Amino acid sequence: MTTTPAGAPSIDELEAQERRLTLPHFTYDDAWALGTLLVELARERGAPVAIDIRRGGQQLFHAALPGSTPDNDAWIDRKRRVVERYGCSSYLVGSRFRAKGTTFEDSSRLDPDTYAAHGGAFPIAVEGAGVIGTVVVSGLPQVEDHGLVVEALERFLGA
């Protein structure tokens, strides 16, 4: 049997986040602004994270903060691939498998060295265009990685 991490949002909450956090546009300058906002939030918390923002196949922003490691970059790639394949957050994908009483690793039939349905990767969705990219944080427990991205997107949209 699988367990849901403490403090984890429900599937309904995760789906609502994705609907609410659709952007009106996403430019190179937006990637910089969102990335620097994430860096500021992480620094305020002393979070040892790596941050990555992509549009399509192009990396628009990357930062590695003190305490992060090359393993965080590998996690970023694995979580990002889940968003690219499923079109929703890596945490939502993992939560849907857990809700079925299984795990992504056991039931997705995808290579766990290539894909990770752990929290921290979120789709960059633009009104009228759908998912055009990803924003990913790695270095904290998965609920916290996911929460940091959501908080940054909420602030970014409110700016």
Average pLDDT of the residues in 98-109 = 96
CA-to-CA distance for 84 and 22, rounded, in angstroms?
A: 16
pLDDT grade for 8, boundaries at 50, 70 and 90: confident
Which residues constitute the domain of residue 34?
A: 11-158
Average pLDDT of the residues in 31-53 = 98
- CATH code at 74? 3.30.450.150
The pLDDT assigned to 24 comes to 97
Q: Does residue 148 lie in a domain region? A: yes
Specify the number of domains making up the chain.
1
CA-to-CA distance for 159 and 157, rounded, in angstroms?
A: 6
